Amino acid sequence: AQKEGQPLSKFGPHDLRRTASTLLHEAGYNSDWIEKCLAHEQKGVRAVYNKAEYRDQRRAMLQDWADMIDEWTRKRTRSES
């Protein structure tokens, strides 16, 4: 945006969390895995009965997320060359 003379919108860490949550949901990942990664606490009956950590699933999802970001940055770097 700055290269094109456009102002950058103000953003903070929670904007990045929201972006990650949105894009992971759009990619079809399980909401429980995403919410656990964001350290969101469950409420109600689910909080009483569901104590799953989803470690293996979250590890794979976050690796996929890192791979997506790597791919986006590679594409951007190639297009700027």
Record the tokens describing residue 36, joined without a space.
Answer: 């656990």
**pTM of the predicted model, to two decimals?**
0.77
- Using the Cα atoms of residue 6, residue 7, residue 8 and residue 9 in order, give the sign of their dihedral: negative
For 61, the domain range is 20-80
Instruction: Count other C-beta atoms under 10 Å from residue 37's C-beta.
Output: 19
The number of distinct structural domains making up the chain is: 1
Q: What is the pLDDT of residues 55-65, one digit of tens each?
A: 999 999 999 99
For residue 13, being part of any structural domain is answered with no
Residue 75 CA: distances (Å) to CA of 8, 27, 81: 21, 19, 10
Ordered alpha helix ranges (H), 2-54: 13-26, 31-37, 44-49
For residue 24, being part of any structural domain is answered with yes
For residue 7, being part of any structural domain is answered with no
Q: Supply the pLDDT for residue 55.
A: 98
Q: What is the pLDDT of residues 8-64, one digit of tens each?
A: 888 899 999 999 999 999 999 999 999 999 999 889 998 899 999 999 999 999 999
Q: Per-residue pLDDT averaged across 62-71, rounded?
A: 96
Residues found in the chain: 81
